[in-house]
Amino acid sequence: MSESASLFHDSISRVESENAISEAIDSDVHAQIATSTLRATRKTRRTKKSPDGMPVDEAAAEERALLENLKTVRDRSLELRRRAVAQAFEFADQCRAFAERLPSAQVLAFIEQECRIPRTEAQSYLKLTEVLGPEREMLQESAVEVPVLFQLLKQPEAVRTEALSMLRSGRTLSRASLRALRQDVLAGEERGKPDRSPIKELQRAVRTRARNFIERLLQDLAGLANAYAALYNETVPEDRSPETVARVDALAADARRLADRLAAAAPADLFTARPNDGRSWGQVYSTLRLIADRKLCLDEDWSWPETHPLWMEEIFHKDLVWALGQEIPELEGRRRPIPKGVAPLDCKPRSAASRPSSAFQYTVLELCAGAGGQAIGLHAAGFWHAGIVENNPEAVETLRTNRPSWPIIEADLNTLDVSQFKGVDLIAGGLPCQPYSQAGHRRGAEDERDLFDRTLQIIETVRPRAVMIENVVGITHVTHILRRLSVLSALESLGYDAEWRVIDGPSFGLGQNRRRAILVAMQPGLMHRFRWPLPPEMAPMPVGTLLRDLMGARGWKGLDRWVAKANRVAPTLIGGSAKKMGMDLAQPKSRESWTRLGINPRWVAREAPGPDFEGEPYLTMPMLARLQDFPDNWLFAGSRRWQFRQIANAFPPRLSRVMGLAILRALSGVEIDLRIALQAPLFKRIDLAELRALELARELAEAAE
């Protein structure tokens, strides 16, 4: 282990105990009050009589005990707060020492990810000694709260100077009083400037009128979109019946009225801005004109990124699809306006849907796709694949056999030109895990199979809105801390916020004790919307229940006894390495876990046990695939050894779907009930009637001002 790694390793336990100093203070003070009160009560009871046995004034004794208790708690409270200030500065000194030996980005990543300290506080610790170091003794003596220290760092110099003067004078400074002080100091600096309140009042009145217009316009757009989707679902382009002609004429008239209202309300340059952006008002306007001219359908092939995949044969015109094929919230009367720069975020599921109604609005480029476990899950969550990259011929054949319409790219990731994928919403990948696996040599970045550096280059080129990389739990061990920090700091230098966590398969209903380390990164303004998936209330799937039909497919008489014995989740499947020649399910140390389930882990059978089979059965390839949550009709190409490797190395679709929905929530703001989603099939027919118009109120409101 390097000297820097050793320095981090020795510091972790101490740092983790200091990353919530203010909370610890409150807890300790409450505990001290309770303890001191109990001691005072006991002391009062002991002093009810004088040493010679004569009674004393019980009220006086209780008063003295109370005073002593108050003094003890006061002194203890001040001591704890002073100690907290000293510890905060001590931790800041340690961080400064790290910064002299490691890049500052890695130090920030260490404080935030390993010590679980929010990034704003992490940066504050690096600045604490520099900005407030000369006042260290005074701040410690004043027993100021640690959060107030951090707030002081963020204040303008005039506010900070006044606050420090107050503390030197003996005042107590809270966060609320600091906010009030800031307002007063800044108000003093604003004295004499012109009063702009009349202008702001007029702006509010204009915005209110614009919002009323927009709400009515969006209601009409939503109605037009629904009517158009219904026409598409219920007719074909060749239909020339009187009823269909009348429906088309009605749509054309409504579209013409909406287009005229738009043209009258907004300047002409609004409709020419960002002509290639599917979310511009120019697209909406041109779409309305197309409908008004009855140009509803168009035959064309689709390819990334020119067209959308949902309309592949006899399709809507792509301008109309992009403009009206998105989601718009239902408007029920007046609603509170959303502040500028704020995107709506649901906190509760709105329906029993298994994915957002605007499914496939968001695109993903997938790296190291393997047999498709991650791709299946992301598709089920509602992502559209712009590209699926894999270099193993057997895995590529598996993907093409099962989903010939998917954009499979057989290529070496190190030489692939990814510039064509600029603008995708998500980059996802299951990078080779062998460099960090407990079953391997754990060489990390020194392993030739490690692809993190190449992935960072791809992220820099493509600039996705979000990133999701899965790997084995071994990458979170302390031996790889510097590698994790280098990845986190590299992502930060590219402008991404990132976190690394571990998710547990059985918690989400997986029938296998599979835990995966997940790295999620997002562009600024999105990470605060991301929430690591919370396990729904669902029991893990026992192996016997999960595999009963497959194990009994040939009439095995011992099936019921085996199901009763296999009443737990399976151990983690291993064997994904290309260097592994056999098809055994476990290392020697973990074979006992399989045998307790009544399974022989030393081989993979070609078929289920026969009627008179005795002993512990082997699992078959379909059984292994189901343990990994693959659909039963998913076919695997190649030799049996390569099929085994593809299955064992997969990211289970169930876990991929869980992560995909979590990322979609951050991107779209739509909450999906995870329990309902996990009960839905992995593949379903797309219902075009669910698609609604895109809400673009903010752009039009700004234009109306």
Residues 145 and 227 in one domain: no
In a domain, 167, yes or no: no
- Return the minimum-mean-pLDDT range out of 31-40, 416-425, 569-578, 639-648: 31-40
- The set of residues, in sequence order, having a beta carbon less than 8 Å from that of 401 and lying 6+ positions away, is 635, 637
Q: Is 363 left (phi over 0), alpha (psi -120 to 50) or beta?
A: beta
The yes-or-no verdict on residue 385 having pLDDT over 70 is: yes
Residue 522 backbone phi and psi in degrees, to 5: -145, 155
Alpha carbon distance 119, 125 (integer Å): 10
Question: Helix (H) and strand (E) counts for the chain?
Answer: 25, 11
- Return the minimum-mean-pLDDT range out of 25-34, 65-74, 258-267, 661-670: 25-34
Domain count, the chain: 3
In a domain, 313, yes or no: yes
In a domain, 145, yes or no: yes
Residues 96 and 128 in one domain: yes
The structure tokens listed for 299 are 């035959």
Q: Which of 109, 98, 95 is nearest to 4 (CA)?
A: 98
The yes-or-no verdict on residue 327 having pLDDT over 60 is: no
- Return the minimum-mean-pLDDT range out of 336-345, 371-380, 500-509, 677-686: 336-345
Can you tell me which residue has the tokens 């015109």? 317
Alpha carbon distance 318, 283 (integer Å): 10
Mean pLDDT of the region 184-189: 77
Residues 327 and 365 in one domain: no
Residues 305 and 453 in one domain: no
In a domain, 483, yes or no: yes
- Return the minimum-mean-pLDDT range out of 4-8, 407-411, 428-432: 4-8
Alpha carbon distance 527, 271 (integer Å): 32
Q: Which of 604, 602, 609, 596 is nearest to 569 (CA)?
A: 596
The yes-or-no verdict on residue 209 having pLDDT over 50 is: yes
Q: How confident is the model at residue 183 (pLDDT cuts 50, 70, 90)?
A: confident
Q: Please, what is the Cα angle at 271 between 268 and 272, to 5 degrees?
A: 95
In a domain, 221, yes or no: yes
Mean pLDDT of the region 387-396: 95
Mean pLDDT of the region 649-672: 92
> Average pLDDT of the chain?
78
Alpha carbon distance 398, 602 (integer Å): 25
Strand partners of residue 314: 299
Q: How confident is the model at residue 222 (pLDDT cuts 50, 70, 90)?
A: confident
Q: Which of 210, 664, 625 is nearest to 465 (CA)?
A: 664
Which tops the pLDDT comparison, 45 or 565? 565
SS3 475: helix
Biggest CA-to-CA distance, the chain: 115
Other C-beta atoms lying within 10 Å of the C-beta of residue 254: 19
b/e 620-642 (16+ beta carbons within 10 angstroms → b): bbbbbbbbbbbbeebebbbeebb
Mean pLDDT of the region 53-71: 75
Residues 222 and 307 in one domain: yes
Work out whether the CA dihedral 555, 582, 515, 386 comes out positive or negative: negative
What beta strand segments (E) does 593-679 contain? 604-605, 619-620
Which tops the pLDDT comparison, 477 or 299? 477
Could you say which of 95, 115, 368, 433 is catalytic?
Answer: 433
The structure tokens listed for 501 are 């966590």
Residues 487 and 581 in one domain: yes
In a domain, 173, yes or no: no
Alpha carbon distance 670, 328 (integer Å): 11
Q: What size, in residues, is the chain?
A: 705
Residues 536 and 610 in one domain: yes
Instruction: Give pLDDT, residue 32.
Output: 53
Residues 389 and 294 in one domain: no
Mean pLDDT of the region 184-205: 74
The structure tokens listed for 632 are 């039963």
b/e 474-500 (16+ beta carbons within 10 angstroms → b): bbbeeebbbbbbbbbbbbbeeebbbeb
pLDDT > 90: what percent of the chain? 30
Residues 647 and 549 in one domain: yes
Helix (H), strand (E) at residue 457: helix 452-462
C-beta of residue 704 within 8 angstroms of C-beta of residue 210: yes
The structure tokens listed for 629 are 């949550």
Residues 45 and 147 in one domain: yes
Residues 106 and 231 in one domain: no
In a domain, 198, yes or no: no
pTM: 0.64
Which tops the pLDDT comparison, 579 or 445? 579
In a domain, 344, yes or no: no
* Domain membership of residue 429 as a residue range: 355-683
C-beta of residue 81 within 8 angstroms of C-beta of residue 26: no
Domain limit, last residue, from 93, 128, 154: 154
Alpha carbon distance 430, 518 (integer Å): 9
Residues 26 and 143 in one domain: yes
Alpha carbon distance 302, 146 (integer Å): 58
The yes-or-no verdict on residue 99 having pLDDT over 60 is: yes
Mean pLDDT of the region 678-700: 50
3-state helix/strand/coil string of 160-201? HHHHHHHHHCCCCCCHHHHHHHHHHHHHHHHCCCCCCHHHHH
- Return the minimum-mean-pLDDT range out of 18-32, 128-142, 367-381: 18-32
Active site residue 433: yes
Instruction: Give pLDDT, residue 614.
Output: 92
